[in-house]
A = this chain, B = another copy of it.
Amino acid sequence: MMFLPGGILEEKIQGFLEEDIGQGDVTTLLTIPHGIIVEAEVVAEEEGIVAGIEEVSTFLRDLGFKVDIRASNGSKVEKGTIAMRIVGDARTLLSTERTILNLVTRMSGIATKTRRVIKKVRDAGYKTIIACTRKVAPGLLYFDKKAVMLGGGDTHRLHMDDLILIKDNHLAIIGDVSEAVKRAGKVASFSKKIEIEVSSEKEALDAVEAGANIIMLDNFSPKKIRNTISLLIEKGLRDKVFVEVSGGINEFNVVEFAATEVDILSLGEITASTKALDMSLDIIKVMEE
């Protein structure tokens, strides 16, 4: 959902590498002679959706490698699929291997899970939007959200300045849903939508009547969701609002929630409980410069 011109991502990945490498890779300097060129493959060790391939390729090309992308961002791989082929300086590759793999396997893990959740929902016949939340690994906001997008999910807020989202802790201070929406509506930029978290059917109706563009049903059971939707329909408000449900939804119960006909289901666990996709980097050919 977002495009970054050259240089910005490379700088972030360089930062990850610098953290890992410290004062330098002592193993490589001691054991690998200067001037060796290698060919290596990044291979999937299990089935999944790859992500981060283009991000690390740009970075590797900046470091002087030739990179041949075999499985592009968002595509499906099987055990044994070669995702990238890399040719270049052996010392540099050995020093960056772990940083690159850590990024690609995390992003691929997130994309894989997102796609799996969406597939379940689509297979059951629902068009519900599947979104992530801001529960990302600190510092990886861009990469985690990009991975969700590549898996087919909705990125939700990109950060705290692109959507007005009034949550339970705001309401603990303001007290009243209608008042909160009105207060925001009076001063918000026309360029932003207004969303609010609600905890009861009544609050849901109040919020929509006060002008909220999106309501987030927080920890509602499927039954409570259906009640809310029915009430909105009754009052003729269903078309005026996007309905999001968040809290307690996971890969296993997602279809049950989708069946309630809400618009959006958001799952914190897509980015917060991640299983890196198993991938490895293997040197397959050694040449002199």
Contacts and interface: CB of A to CB of B under 8 A. Distances in A.
Interface centre among A4, A13, A143, by most chain B C-beta atoms within 10 angstroms, is A4
A78 to B, nearest CB: 20
Interface stretch (A95-103, A118-126, A225-233): A95-103
A3 interface: yes
A184 interface: yes
B64 A156 contact: no
Contact of A165 (B18, B27, B166): B27
A129 B195 CA distance: 21
Contact of A281 (B28, B159, B169): B169
Interface stretch (A131-139, A204-212, A253-261): A131-139
Interface string A138-182: 111111010000000011111111111111111011100000100
A170 to B, nearest CB: 5
How many copies, total?
Answer: 6
Contact of A173 (B13, B90, B136, B180): B90
A245 to B, nearest CB: 13
A5 B96 contact: yes
B32 A161 contact: no
Contacts of A191: 154-157, 162-163, 193, 195, 214
A274 interface: yes
B136 A102 contact: yes
B164 A27 contact: yes
